[in-house]
Amino acid sequence: MTVAVPAQVERLAKLLRDAERAVVLTGAGVSVPSGIPDFRSPRTGLWEHVDPMEVAHIDAWRRDPDRFWRFYGDRFASLVDKRPNQAHLALAELERRGLIKAVITQNIDRLQRVAGTQRLIEVHGSIEWSVCLDCGGKVPLERVIEQLRADDGAPECACCITPLKPDVVLFGEMLPERALSEAQALALDADLMVCVGSSLEVYPVAGLPAMTRGAGGRLALVTQGPTPYDDDADVKLGGDVVEELRAVLAAL
């Protein structure tokens, strides 16, 4: 028996088939099925019980790196064993088939890279490394976790004996210029941008869909809840991100 494909799913599949320069933009919602909470959902969001300006601001790291790492260390340790879910894998498959050129992500969890995506622009950085701002040295996540387990204080650079900073964009910091420039170039060139698991509220990344639309490209949304771009999108899939992307793959 043939199962009817929902019209919106078929619409997105057709957009992907017809596009020549499609790109994907992902947010926290794509990693929720892997057991990683997003930031703002009631009761479960990361910032529900914590003021991000107190614990995740660059000034908080400068002022008290030990306190900063007591918060971030637990978060990083909780991410080490997380695995890509079927949404990550579906996006990697779209790239493998040549249907998308790249994935731009706001996520720092490295799961899209683990899933197999080759061209991944991590505009908010990655937990993969922590850096020494004195000498520029980089320390891999596994070694940082070892230091945190051995000592309650901030992990330190072995050369400079100064606190390490996670190589992620904290509040009060600018996005990495190279990553942002690449993301903007992809957005301007795209004839289709598919936004997955993002509320599209955090700038400057939230401005990327407008760049694609302004350059004549189309916009598709695969995310739960409203976004500022709902009226501009050619299609919106608002169900579970894993199920929606599975259905799109099946329709291709």
Terminal Cα-to-Cα distance of the chain (whole angstroms): 18
Averaged confidence pLDDT in the chain: 89
What is the arithmetic mean of pLDDT over 82-99?
96
Summarised one tens digit per residue, pLDDT across range 178-221 is 999 999 999 999 999 999 999 999 889 999 999 999 999 999 99
CATH 1.10.8.60 given to domain 39-81+128-168: no
Beta bridge partners of 23: 102, 193
Average pLDDT over residues 78-99: 94
Catalytic residues: 124
Residue with tokens 């650079």: 157
Q: What gap in Å lies between CA 38 and CA 67, rounded to an integer?
A: 22
* Burial zone of 243 (CB within 10 Å; 0-12 exposed, 13-18 middle, 19+ buried): middle
Percent of the chain with pLDDT over 90: 64
Question: What pTM, to 2 d.p., does this model score?
Answer: 0.90
- H or E, element range at 141: helix 141-150
Q: How far is CA 183 from CA 139, 180, 211, 212, in A?
A: 26, 5, 10, 11
pLDDT of residue 150: 85
Contact 4, 61 (CB under 8 A): no
pLDDT(230) > 80: yes
Residues of the chain with CATH 3.30.1600.10: 39-81+128-168
Contact residues for 102 (Cβ-Cβ < 8 A; gap 6+): 23, 24, 95, 119, 120, 121, 186
Closest CA to 6 of 202, 242, 235: 235
pLDDT value, residue 78:
81
Fold of the CATH domain 1-36+84-124+174-252: Rossmann fold (3.40.50)
CB 41 within 8 A of CB 28: no
Give residue 45's pLDDT band: very low, low, confident or very high (50, 70, 90). Answer: very low
pLDDT tens readout for residues 145-176: 888 888 778 899 988 889 999 999 998 889 99
Q: Amino acid letter at 20?
A: E
Stretch(es) of the chain classified as CATH 3.40.50.1220:
1-36+84-124+174-252
